[in-house]
Amino acid sequence: MSQNFDVVVIGSGPGGYVAAIRCGQLGLKTAIIEKESLGGVCLNVGCIPSKAMITASHFLHRAQHDAPEMGFEIPGEIKVNMKKLLSWKESVTTKMSGGVAQLLKGNGVTVIKGDAQFKTTKEITVKTSTGTTESFSAKHFIIATGSRPIEIPNFAFDEKDIMSSTGALALDHIPKKLLVIGGGYIGLEIGTYLAKFGTEVTVAEAQQAILNGVVDPECAQVVARKLKKNKVEVLLNTKAKTQKKTSNGIEVTLEVQGKDQVKIFDKVLVTVGRRPNSDQAQIKNVGILVDERGFVKVDAQRRTNINNIFAIGDIACQPMLAHKASYEGVMVAEIIAGKNRVYDVKTVPAVVFTDPEIASAGMTEDEAKAKGYKDLLVSKFPFGANGRAVSMMETDGFVKMIADSKTHILLGVHIVGPEASNLISEAALAIEMGARLEDLALTIHPHPTLGETMMEAAEATLGHAIHVIQKPLGASVTAKHEAAK
């Protein structure tokens, strides 16, 4: 006999579990179905474990390179016990997954472990790990089944030698030589931390620049310089053609700017993007429409063409970011509960956890021009002029602001530098509320902090930063001041 719910959520990633919790908070009888681990890809084999490893590598790098300059004498070689580090990383994900379980339980959400398949638009079947099949019906369904890494020809994943991010994050040893296919954010994040652990890393990027079309080009250039400094080889306009396993390692044929090169590696990491899991859960069999790229078609409420079924997160549309999925999860839960909401945001901030970090909110210069902003105010403030950054020995990068010259309304902020991931939230709030440059420039920021760079960047974009030398404001400003007396 089928169990009945108000809402059934399929998938417990950062979209699904958040949607289920909010449904529970709103008094809806809710169930969530997960075939693997609570928290989904992001929490278990993506965002959280990768950031744990990045933090560990940064800690090691500072101990090896910055500590001696500060005056700390650390005798002997600092060794990395990868098995112990892996155990620590897994303790982080276990703690987070356990927290999700407690939140779901605390909000009255029924957790069902198994593989869900739509039977009708109002009923699903779930095959459990024990092999039994149960049926569940609901007034509403939320599909949050996420995405998976894209495979390329001749490089099928075995997660041992040819790895996706999942396999790379499970390594219990430091590979000597690693090929990263794809110069996007996932490959660069993993490649960077392994390089700091001592791996000889080569990045093969098919386009003419790393992070091409992903971040502000000037920000990408700062990261490119740091990769070179950290002895990461970046091959641009390069395609991976074939690979074969030999006694010496994995022999890979690369087409570098039109010419073939053969190189030997211990491991190969393929990070050329992710595809939505729209071929799962039998969603097409009940008439749910999917576009040519594999995304479920949704409206501004994330409702599919079937009125009682919603889709959120990676499976629904770009950008494929965890925080966007969580936002949608809350929104859809509230829509189901009767609230009048639509997805209408000015910006979805994005972060790349490279060295240094990159974070962005709003438009790039090219995007602003494409949307009709012909006259822009654009300026940068360097972290090298910030006291806190200097004291941290992390001065690479800048804060870049883009504003409409007529209104001074902030259109975009792009940060490359220390703790860019933490600084970008102020920019996202400013853009969302339609703030002007003056709003940031006239807000007192505490000293000495990295956050001062936001205030100073706004000042620089207005033409009168204090801690960098700019051209004088000019006679016109003096004349306006005299006229105002």
Q: What CATH number should be reported for the domain holding residue 360?
A: 3.30.390.30
Query: What pLDDT is recorded for position 474?
Result: 58
Single residue among 272, 301, 324 that ends a domain in this structure: 272
Assign 481 a pLDDT band (cuts: 50, 70, 90): very low
The answer to whether position 345 is within a domain reads no
| Same-domain pairing of 237 and 302 | no
| Beta carbons of 199 and 163 less than 8 angstroms apart | no
**Residues 326, 380: one domain?**
no
Within-domain flag for 157: no
Q: Is the predicted pLDDT of residue 382 greater than 50, yes or no?
A: yes
CA distance 451 to 455: 7
For residues 323-334, average pLDDT: 98
Q: Are residues 190 and 234 in the same domain?
A: yes
Q: What is the DSSP string of 141-184?
A: EEE---EEEPP-TT----SSSEE-HHHHTT-SS--SEEEEE--S
Considering the domain architecture, whether residues 135 and 13 belong to the same structural domain is answered as: yes
Q: Domain check: are 215 and 121 in the same one? A: no
Expressed as residue numbers, the domain containing 235 is 162-272
The H or E element spanning position 140 is strand 133-143
Handedness of CA 213, 300, 320, 274 (dihedral sign): negative
Identify the CATH number of the domain in which residue 178 sits: 3.50.50.60
Are 92 and 48 in contact, with CB atoms under 8 Å apart?
yes
The catalytic residues are 447
Three-class SS state of 391: helix
Reported as a pLDDT band with limits 50, 70 and 90, residue 476 is very low
In this structure, the answer to whether residues 281 and 400 fall within a common structural domain is no
Give the Cα separation of 291 and 278 in Å (integer): 10
Each residue of 177-226: pLDDT tens digit? Answer: 999 999 999 999 999 999 999 999 999 999 999 999 999 999 999 999 99
Number of domains observed in the structure of the chain: 3
Binning pLDDT at 50, 70 and 90, where does residue 477 land? very low
**Average pLDDT taken over every residue of the chain:** 95
Higher model confidence: residue 195 or residue 481? 195
pTM: 0.95
Distance from C-alpha of 59 to C-alpha of 86, rounded to nearest angstrom: 15
Q: Which two tokens stand for residue 116?
A: 């869900």
User: What is the distance between the alpha carbons of residues 437 and 447, in angstroms, rounded to a whole number?
Assistant: 20
Same domain assignment for residues 418 and 303: no
* C-alpha Rg value of the chain to the nearest Å: 25
**Which of 272, 295, 311 is the last residue in one of the domains?**
272
Is the domain of 226 the same as that of 168?
A: yes
Provide mean pLDDT across the span 451-455. 98
Same domain, 267 and 327: no
Residue 268 and residue 279 in one domain: no
In terms of domains, do 40 and 106 share one?
Answer: yes
- C-beta atoms surrounding 410 within 10 Å: 27
* pLDDT score recorded for residue 483: 53
Of 256, 272, 288, which marks where a domain is finished? 272
In whole angstroms, give the CA distance from residue 231 to residue 286: 52
The first and second tokens of residue 178, run together, are 């690693």
Residues 6 or more apart whose Cβ sits within 8 Å of residue 208: 236, 237
Answer yes or no: is 156 within a domain. no
Of 87-101, 181-195, 466-480, minimum mean pLDDT range = 466-480
In this structure, the answer to whether residues 17 and 103 fall within a common structural domain is yes
Q: Is the pLDDT of residue 473 over 70?
A: no
Q: Rounded CA gap, 316 and 328, in Å?
A: 10
